[in-house]
Structures are given as structure tokens and as C-alpha cells.
Amino acid sequence: MSEHDDDGLLDAVAALDPVVQSSVPDGSSPTARRLLEEIMSDTLTRSRPAAPPDPDPTPRRWRRLAAAAAAVAVAATATATMWPGATPSASASVSAAIAATLDAADGSARYTLVAEIGPATGPEGGDAALELRAEGVIADGDLSLTSRFGPSAEPEAMSTEELRLVDGDVYLRSTDLGGGWEVAEGRAGPADPLGFFDELGEIATFDEVGSDSIAGEPVTVYRADGARWEETDALSAAFVAFGVALFAGDVAPGDDPPVLELAVDDEGIVRRLDVTGEQGDDRLDLVVEVFDLGADLQVDVPEGAGLS
């Protein structure tokens, strides 16, 4: 089995295959040749058949991607309410840092994202944690995102996907299949991942919980209490905001509210977002670091896009 199967479960399932492929007629069998002849003699129409509701999965995929891309445009959907008992000075510091970060970025920044998916509880019996690593470039509403995903223990088994959102068009390429760039159906609004911070700024109910360092620079860590996220799902919102939902699919909220922390450097700039939560039986850790705020960045339409 070529895919990750350290416990042999897939091999065991493969052994249950109810059909022995070698016993199945191939394309050269008389039945197959008759069918081919019959089909190829049909020259009447190339219109799409009415019977299957959605026989082509590819457009559906692009529709989902376009919808998700649109979600990127509006950034996080998190809506939070003021929480009585907040720490005013910490919340004010966070609000100021978020405002300063957005000003410094002025629509352009780079970010890295690491998401780890692992067991929440219980013995795992050799189950490997999954990992998603992404690098993003935001440039005046355009977005470039390259992600690698796979089992943490097997870097060589990871797959790479790339996305670009340029002037509302979404392009996607999966290096796993060796195919070229393809264009999603529909159009998306401008990407605004940092808008997620802006949404956080409206909460203004952070507490200072400690200090840390990022690339050798000291940072102050602030935490939003989980109680403030009862009406929403910060983890899902963060995934959407930073474009990862485009690759990872739906992110269902867990039973418990996620823990969300922001790290602010000595210059009052938000450097890191850290969200930890649960999704079903899994634990998800999402860490986003932003840098090159306000740099002269550009995202180009990929060469050869849409020609496949």
C-alpha cells in the first residue's frame, strides 16, 4: 500500500477486496469492444447528460474552492460579544497591536501556518499525527498559498498543493498529480487574512498570560478566554481566514471552545496567532506567524493556467 499505513490496516482492508481484478474482463474483451464501438458511434451530441446530477466531480471541487475563496475575502466569520470582566489594559494593548499590525501591513504581508492534527484522547496504537504546513503571501487582496500536508513522521509522503487568488480568479495546482494549473469556477472577493485580527480587535477581552520569543525576539502572549468563543468557532474561522480551508475542506467545530492566543512583539506588532481546539476526536493546533508586513509583494497569475 503506497499510502501511509504503519499499522497495516489498509493492507488488511485490501485483503477483503471482494473482486479479484484479474478475473474482470479488460478493455480488449468482446463485450468491451462492442461497448466501445457502440459508444463511439454515438455522434449525435456532446451535450451534458441529464441523468446523473453531478457526473463531473471537478467542477464541484472548483465550486467549493471558489466558495471557500469567497470566505477568505470576508475573512473570519467570528462574531463575539463583549465579555464582562476583561482585563482592560491587556485588551487595550491587543487592540492597539492589531491596529498597528494592519497599518504596518497595509494589505501586504507574508505568513506561515502550521496545523497539527492528532489524537485528542486515548491510546492511538501507532497512529501518526498529520501536519499541514503552508506559506502565504498577501498582496493587496491577492493571495498565494503553498501547502504541504501529510503524516508528520513521513515528510516524503506529504502532498503539495498551491493556490493563487489574483484579481478574483482562483487557480489551483496539485503537484501530487503532476497536473498543471486549473482555474476555479466563479470569482472570489479580495483576500484579507489579516482581517481576522481585526475581528479579534473588536473583542477586546484579552488577558496577558506570559512571554515567549519568536526568532529570538521577545513577545508578550495574550489569551482570549474560551468562554468568549461559545457562539462561534475561532479555529474554523482562523482556518478560513488564512486560506487553509481552501485545502483542508470543512473544519467542523469541536465540543469545547478553542483556546486562542496572540503574541505581540516589543514594537506592538502582532507576530503570532495560536489556536488550539478539537475537531471530532482530533486535536488541532494552528499556529500562524506573520512577517514582512508592508513589503512590496505581488502575486501573479500562474503561467499556463487554464490551458490544461
- Give the footprint of other proteins on residues 103-162 (CB under 8 A): 117, 119, 125, 127, 130, 132, 147, 149-150, 159, 161
Give, as ranges, the residues between 4 and 33 that touch other proteins (CB under 8 A). 7, 9-19, 21, 24-28, 31-32
Beta carbon of residue 256, minimum distance to other proteins (angstroms, whole number): 18
Nearer to other proteins, 130 or 139 (CB): 130
Which amino acid is located at 236 in the chain?
S
Name the 3-class secondary structure at 283: strand
Nearer to other proteins, 42 or 156 (CB): 42
Nearer to other proteins, 9 or 209 (CB): 9
Please tell me the distance from the alpha carbon of residue 43 to that of residue 45, in angstroms, as a whole number: 6
Can residue 54 be called a binding residue for other proteins (CB under 8 A)? yes
Please report, for residues 24, 26, 90, the alpha-carbon distance to residue 283 in angstroms, rounded to integers and kept in the order given: 43, 45, 28
Beta carbon of residue 20, minimum distance to other proteins (angstroms, whole number): 8
Beta carbon of residue 214, minimum distance to other proteins (angstroms, whole number): 26
Please report, for residues 60, 108, 171, 187, 258, the alpha-carbon distance to residue 68 in angstroms, rounded to integers and kept in the order given: 12, 21, 13, 11, 21
Can residue 303 be called a binding residue for other proteins (CB under 8 A)? no
Nearer to other proteins, 201 or 243 (CB): 243
Nearer to other proteins, 86 or 235 (CB): 235
- Phi–psi pair at 222, nearest 5 degrees: -120, 145
- Phi–psi pair at 263, nearest 5 degrees: -110, 125
Applying CB under 8 A, which of residues 84, 85, 88, 178 lies at the interface with other proteins?
178
Nearer to other proteins, 218 or 249 (CB): 249
Please report, for residues 50, 59, 174, 187, 254, the alpha-carbon distance to residue 303 in angstroms, rounded to integers and kept in the order given: 35, 21, 15, 19, 40
CB 276, CB 294: distance < 8 Å: no
Nearer to other proteins, 85 or 122 (CB): 122
Tell me which stretch binds other proteins (CB under 8 A): 41-49, 77-85, 208-216, 221-229. 41-49
Beta carbon of residue 249, minimum distance to other proteins (angstroms, whole number): 3
Applying CB under 8 A, which of residues 39, 88, 216, 255 lies at the interface with other proteins?
39
Please tell me the distance from the alpha carbon of residue 72 to that of residue 282, in angstroms, as a whole number: 24
CB 4, CB 150: distance < 8 Å: yes
Beta carbon of residue 208, minimum distance to other proteins (angstroms, whole number): 34
Can residue 177 be called a binding residue for other proteins (CB under 8 A)? yes
Give, as ranges, the residues between 209 and 268 that touch other proteins (CB under 8 A). 246-249
Which distant-in-sequence residues (6+ apart) come within 8 Å of 286 by Cβ? 113, 114, 115, 235, 238, 239, 244, 273, 274, 275, 276
